[in-house]
Structure 1
Amino acid sequence: MPFAPPPASTTRPDLTGTFGMAASTHWIATATAQSVLERGGNAFDAACAGAFVLHVVEPHLNGPAGDMTAVIASADDPGRPRVLAGQGPAPAAATIDRYRAEGLDLVPGSGALAAAVPGAVDAWLLLLRDRGTWTVGDVLSYATGYARSGHPVLERVSLTIAAVQRLFREHWPTSAARWMPGGAPPAPGELITDPDYADLLDSLVAAADAASSREAGVEAARARWREVVGPAIEEFVRTPHRHSDGADHAGVMTADDVAGFRATFEEPVTARFRDRTIVKTGAWGQGPALLQTLTILDGYDDDLLDPSTAAGVHTVAEAQKLALADRDVWYGDTGTDGTASGTGAGHVPAGARADHVPLDHLLSPEYAARRRDLIGDTASHEIRPGDVPGRTTPPVPPLRTEYTTTAPAGSLPGAPSGGAAAGVGEPTVPGPPAAPAGRQAHPADDLPPDALGVTRGDTCHIDVVDRWGNIISATPSGGWLQSSPTVPGLGFCLGTRLQMTWLDPASPSALVPGRRPRTTLTPTLVLRDGEPVLACGSPGGDQQDQWQLLFLLRVLAGGYTPQQAIDAPAWHTTSFPGSFWPRTWTPGGLVVEDRLGDDVIAALTARGHQVVRAGDWALGRLSAVTRDPSTGLLGAAANPRGAQGYAAGR
């Protein structure tokens, strides 16, 4: 057998049934989604209800002012999957000159200058209007209940608040009032509430209830969101506050920015791997990089694709580096044909468009073959984007192997932690780990975690499939409680997605008003013979598609079940510029779970990979749902790492 045999047992069962399945990064969201299915809602109703609950129960990983992307397929047209784009653009005043005038060379990793226009809530309501069956009131009742009556706070939320409590007290008083009303972080398991957010949700329901139909009610709720949230944000961000560069800045977002945003449905980008079609977002997300990697790997025999062997890890990691190099040089906010899509009333303003992203070329078998020829026996320590006929290759982003700062202690809410923990896909709160062998320690590594508020926000994920064949993979993110100060009266803060833009006008991912940042959010749908058979995704920033790739290889080429693939040892490369502030990289870097095995790790080190061990169960937070169109059999699986994600169904 080309792949190593899957484990004889799994941490959790592969769920199977015929009624409906849900899986997410928090058990309460999964239970909510399954409850909606049980009450007759479809997969889209269930995902909407679960997503609004995620805003409440995973506030360190997503929030209402964040963003989301989803890939869906409807039972009435299963062969035409669609992308739901809830990624907001840069505000009208977010210009490179404005940010440079603030003394910045990067968009900060925290604070209102890093905020894109909120997109998540509008996107979920658009999905409810066009593909759902429930009313706004029914869908929001779960989240409103948890926000008003309370839910048991996760240990990770408590740790995150504890890590940034000094920042909250000294610089972000509205966040201190929101998250430490008694003067101290909440204890794990303590019931916490968010009455301001509950009031906002109630106002959306009231607007919807006054409308003449279900669809009109959803539109009324979308309008109320813009009317309430926009002015509150504009008024609050006018006051300068601490950002991750250690300085105080005012934000630039206005009520008009919020009022002008509309989420959209868009055509996906696809590629074939073996006998499956993989469905992703356009090049305004990182999804096509997964498609590029799979196209490169499709030219290898299965014995070089096993992510549990030294040969497989090396081959797959080197292919990923090549695809990510193209991502960071070529990707930006245009449609796959170069036309505008996605922001404002459904279009990127003409002056905001990036150049045409040459996905037809980047995803072609001929280009993949040339890239495949670059993979040798040793690890590459270079950034190697490919050439496109007739085009001048944009500049490679600045390459920083470490981040240095003279900012005072207590001023950096998003400082990097370095080492293995920087890419584990969970917020890093215990304090900076030791720097890996051969790498200089971060200049703040000797400071206690509270001094810098060392934490990174992450992401959530939810998958749902119903008995009719509707299916969705969705990745909500942004608006982390540690992103920026809580906006009074709203109960949440802004997101920081603009940190994925560059203050370089030559980059396709440059900061430009009205243009979406090139997001890392990247849900996945898999088709067989034109029918959706699998939806999956993972939090993890730049690692999302890397961890999904391991899962897909094990399921599609290795014959693993979804739960076996989720449980298997994970790893990822860090040999590319990170998408998050301060945008550092580790040449040849490879972060692995120790379960990969000493022999495999030694062989990878011998090939020149700069290996960092992350622990036995540290990487990846995948979930998945499946459907067999020939039998109607449904399935679900979820990540055991962190004891938080769960699947449910029958």
Structure 2
Amino acid sequence: MTFTTRPEIVGTFGTVASTHWLASASGMAVLEAGGNAFDAAVASGLVLHVVEPHLNGLGGDMPVLCHEATTGRTFTVCGQGVAPSSATPEAYAAHGIEEIPGTGLLAATVPGTFGAWMLMLERYGSLTLREVAQYAIGYARDGYPFLAQAATAVAALEDVFTGHWHASAEIYLPGGRAPEAGERFCNPALAATLERLVAEGEAAGPGREQQIEGARQAFYSGFVAEQIDIFAASEQFDGVGSGAHRGFLTGADLDVWRAREEEPLTVDFAGVQVAKTQPWGQGPVLLQQLAMLEQLDLAEMSDADLVHTVTEVAKLAFADREAWYGDPEHSDVPVEELLRAGYAAERVGLVGADASGELRPGSPGGRAPRLPARVVAAMADGGAWPDGLATPGQGEPTVARGDTCHLDVADRWGNVVAATPSGGWLQSSPTIPGLGFALGTRAQMFWLEQGLASSLVPGARPRTTLSPGLLLGTDRVLAFGTPGGDQQDQWTVPFLINHLVRGMDLQAAIDAPSWHSMHWPSSFAPRVAQPRGMRAESRLGADVLAELRARGHQVEDAGDWSLGRISAAGTRPDGMLHAAANPRGMQGYAVGR
């Protein structure tokens, strides 16, 4: 028997799992009130915007993977906002910017999260916006326990808030001091924004759908867009170059944008189908890894062999991400060839007995790959940018064990939702006066160098790291995902192997020791790489870590419980519902009955 930190939650009515206990409980309350998985996901997500402001916000972005039971249809809701219409390489060059920074207004794209929630709620939900938003409004107005990570982030930026980001100081320095971990904390400005969105929606008409559309218009064409337009046109401190810049985002950019549905991409692995987003997200990189691993006998590998093989496969898949992934509406991405079984067989043949120090993108369909010039130079120089900037909020937010949130919901009717909201971090952009939230900084994932798959193009989606997933099998659907930037589609690989190949239940698969590679450049400014670099949990065992080092991996012992924030929820073949959540950080929880 495998002992775990918690039981796998199993029931028949509904299950919710997320990265914060209050979000999970709120989603479950919606299910108890008669709502479905789509209603519950919106309620949970809005609560995450309130209680994890250092990890996501109302001004951020989000992809969602959905399975609708009545039609059996699986689809993506794209809540990834696009680059502003005036954000051109020439416009950045006029500011003396050679690489889009990871902080401030220069990196803002259209906020996509709220539009994605409204699309889901209007088309597939059953409750009103007020019914699902009441939990988030209540926590913002009446308070919630401030997380230790959020307190650390605020304390680190106290001087920036008081000296420059005054609207941030008004909210996050109540009484002129940084809040302590566990302290009751309120965001009345955000509560007022959410309440006004609900009220303006209700004023749009008596019908549920009318009201949801009215709230969407209030955000993208009404008072929210108007305030964003004013704020983005003001010069705000970001510590880059001259130290303060205006943004490119305008109210007109918000007015023309809408969330939309898309077909997901899939591959078969271990007897199920795995679904991910199109290559405007990094999700296909998980599919490429699984397609390569499907060629191998994973069940017979030793622990050291498995960790080594999975890591080397990840290097190959992420090299392809660097060379080929981008918004398919603005770039020619050979995604069908990248996911072809024959291509996977060719690529996995490159895995050797020792750790590779190269970044080796493939040639799908015979096409020559192209990497950014700075990536080529950096990898040749050991992975570090020679002139990386250190600014407020810059650098991959996962250094502070977070950057993103995740939630999974399954209801008694068989609807399943996986969502990964992120962006709009309190530490990366100033709070918008009167709205109580910050804009996102996802444009940092574009390259200003042109001719690349992920080059900056006005109106294009940045290649996000956000990556929810679904497993689709005979009479089963499972939502899963994790925060973690570039690690999202690494930490989920051992989780899936443990669950699907080794037969562990969801909680055991989440609890099992994990690892990840830092071999390729980070998606976040300043894009540092550590060739052959690996972080691994101590619980893999001293002998395993020693063997990995002997094979050339530069292994950093990450401690016993540090890597991954996976949660999962779905339907089993026997009709039961199950869920589990990550115990690391003592924050995520799964609930259900």
TM-score by length of 1: 0.88
Between Structure 1 and Structure 2, the one with more helix by share is: 2
- Where do 5+ consecutive residues of structure 2 fail to align? none
Pair 1:284 & 2:280 matched: yes
Matched, 1:150 2:143: yes
Q: What displacement does 1:391 show?
A: 3.1
Q: What's the CA shift string for 1:169-208, capped at 9, x where partnerless? A: 2222221122103111111222221122212212221222
- 2:456 aligned residue: 511
CA distance, structure 2, for counterparts of residue 369 and residue 398 of structure 1: 30
CA shift, 1:402, in A, is 2.7
Per-residue CA deviations over 1:446-487 (Å, capped at 9, x if unaligned) read: xxxxxxxxxxx6000000000110000110000011121111
Shift of 1:415: 4.2
Q: 1:601 aligns with which of 527, 545, 548?
A: 545
For the residues of structure 2 that align with 1:82 and 1:305, how far apart are their CA atoms?
35
Task: Find the counterpart in structure 2 of residue 488 from structure 1.
Answer: 433
Partner of 1:236: 231
**Conserved 8 A contact 2:388-2:526:** no
Q: Give the superposition deviation at 1:499.
A: 0.8
Deviation at 1:225, TM superposition (A): 1.1
SS, match of residue 63 in structure 2: strand
Residue type at the aligned position of 1:462: L
Q: Is the 8 A contact 1:639 1:645 kept in 2?
A: yes
User: Is 1:40 aligned with 2:49?
Assistant: no
What is the DSSP-based 3-state SS (H/G/I as helix, E as strand, rest coil) of the residue aligned with 2:374? coil
Contact 1:478 1:496 in 2 (8 A): yes
- Among candidates 187, 201, 205, match of residue 208 of structure 1: 201
Q: Any gaps of 5 or more consecutive residues in structure 1? A: 1-6, 335-339, 341-352, 417-421, 429-456
Pair 1:229–1:101, CA change in 2 (3 A)? same
Match of 1:68 among 36, 50, 62: 62
**Structure 1 match to 2:266:** 270
1:270 partner SS: strand
Partner residue in 1 for 2:216: 222
Alpha-carbon distance in structure 2 between the residues aligned to 1:532 and 1:393: 38
Partner of 2:485: 541
Q: Distance in 1 between matches of 2:207 and 2:166?
A: 42
- Contact map agreement 2:536 2:556 (CA 8 A) in 1: yes
- Which residue does the alignment assign to 1:361? 337
CA distance in 1, matches of 2:394, 2:286: 28
Counterpart in the other structure of 1:427? 400
Distance 1:216 1:92 in 2: 29
Equivalent pairs counted in the alignment come to: 584
Alignment match, 2:21: 27
Q: Return the letter of the residue paired with 2:295.
A: G
Q: In 1, distance between residues paired with 2:576 and 2:56?
A: 32
Residue 533 of structure 1: how far off its partner (Å): 2.3
Question: Could you tell me which of 87, 90, 94 is aligned with 2:80?
Answer: 87
Aligned equivalent of 1:468, options 413, 418, 438: 413
Distance apart, 1:559 and its partner CA: 0.7
Q: Which residue of 2 aligns with 1:343?
A: none
| Corresponding residue number in structure 2 for 1:56 | 50
8 Å contact kept, 1:179–1:186: yes
- Residue 640 of structure 1 aligns to which amino acid in structure 2? P
State the alpha-carbon separation in 1 of the partners of residues 581 and 416 from structure 2.
16
Do structure 1's residue 561 and structure 2's residue 561 form an aligned pair? no
Deviates more, 1:159-168 or 1:22-31: 159-168
Evaluate the alpha carbon distance shift between residue 556 and residue 244 of structure 1 in structure 2; reply closer, same or farther with a 3 A threshold.
farther
| Whole-angstrom CA distance in 1 between matches of 2:564 and 2:295 | 26
Q: CA shift at 1:12, angstroms?
A: 0.6
SS in 2 for 1:624: strand
Rate the CA distance shift 1:499–1:304 in 2: closer, same or farther, 3 A.
farther
Q: For 2:581 and 2:81, how far apart are their aligned partners in 1?
A: 29
Alpha-carbon contact 1:108-1:244 (below 8 Å) kept: no
Q: Write the distance in 2 (CA, Å) between the matches of 1:36 and 1:575.
A: 42
8 Å Cα contact 2:4-2:511 kept in structure 1: yes
What residue is the counterpart of 1:442 in the other structure?
Answer: none
Map 1:569-580 onto structure 2 (within 5 A).
569-580=513-524
Closer/same/farther in 2, CA of residues 15 and 322 from structure 1, 3 Å limit:
same
Matched, 1:526 2:508: no
Matches of 2:289 and 2:564, distance apart in 1: 18
- Quote the residue 2:117 is aligned against: 124
Give the drift of 1:398.
Answer: 2.0
Matches within 5 A, 1:334-373: 334=328, 340=329, 353-355=330-332, 357-373=333-349
Please state how far the C-alpha of 1:304 moved relative to its aligned partner. 5.8
Show the counterpart of 1:412: 391
CA gap of 1:223–1:564, structure 2 versus 1, over 3 A, is same
List per-residue Cα deviations over 1:418-456 (Å, max 9, x = no partner). Answer: xxxx78x4626xxxxxxxxxxxxxxxxxxxxxxxxxxxx
CA distance in structure 1 between the partners assigned to 2:239 and 2:25 by the alignment: 36
2:356 corresponds in structure 1 to 380
Could you tell me which amino acid in structure 2 is paired with residue 39 of structure 1? Answer: A
CA gap 1:412/1:485 in 2 versus in 1, 3 angstroms: same
Cα gap change, 1:200/1:414 in structure 2, threshold over 3 Å: closer, same or farther?
Answer: closer
Check conservation: 2:62, 2:422, Cα contact below 8 A.
yes
User: CA offsets per residue over residues 579-636 of structure 1, 9 Å max, x none?
Assistant: 001001001111111111110001000101111111111100000113124x320111
How far did 1:392 drift?
Answer: 3.7
AA in 1 matched with 2:238:
H
| Superposed counterparts of 1:319-338, under 5 Å | 319-334=313-328
Cα deviation 1:355-394 (Å, max 9, x = unaligned) = 2x11111111111111011100010111100013353422
SS at match of 1:472: strand
Q: Are the aligned partners of 2:518 and 2:534 in contact in 1 as well (CA < 8 Å)?
A: yes
1:550 aligns with 2:543: no
SS of the residue aligned with 2:421?
A: strand
Equivalent residue in structure 2 for 1:258, among 248, 254, 259: 254
Matching residue of 1:187: 180
Q: Contact 2:299 / 2:502 at 8 angstroms: preserved in 1?
A: no
Cα distance in 1 for partners of 2:560, 2:20 equals 21
Counterpart secondary structure, 1:229 = helix
Compute the displacement of 1:406 (Å): 9.0
Q: Is 1:172 matched with 2:172?
A: no
Aligned-pair distance for 1:162?
Answer: 0.5
- Contact between 1:305 and 1:553, CA under 8 Å: does it hold in 2? no
Residues 39 and 397 (structure 1), Cα distance of their counterparts in 2 relative to 1, 3 Å cut: farther
Q: Cα offset for 1:397? A: 5.3
In the alignment, the residues of structure 2 paired with residue 506 and residue 286 of structure 1 have an alpha-carbon distance, to the nearest angstrom, of 19
What is the alpha-carbon distance in structure 1 between the residues aligned to residue 95 and residue 71 of structure 2? 50
- 2:161 maps to a residue whose letter is F
In the TM superposition, what whole-angstrom CA distance separates every residue of 1:89-124 from its partner, at most 9, and x where no partner exists?
000111111112222221101001111100000100
Summarize the Cα distance change of 1:181–1:547 in structure 2 as closer, same or farther, 3 Å threshold. Answer: same
SS of corresponding position for 1:83 = strand
What do the CA deviations read for 1:560-597 (whole angstroms, capped 9, x no partner)? Answer: 11100110101001111110010010011111111111
Measured at CA, do residues 533 and 169 of structure 1 come closer, stay the same or move farther in structure 2, by a change above 3 Å?
same
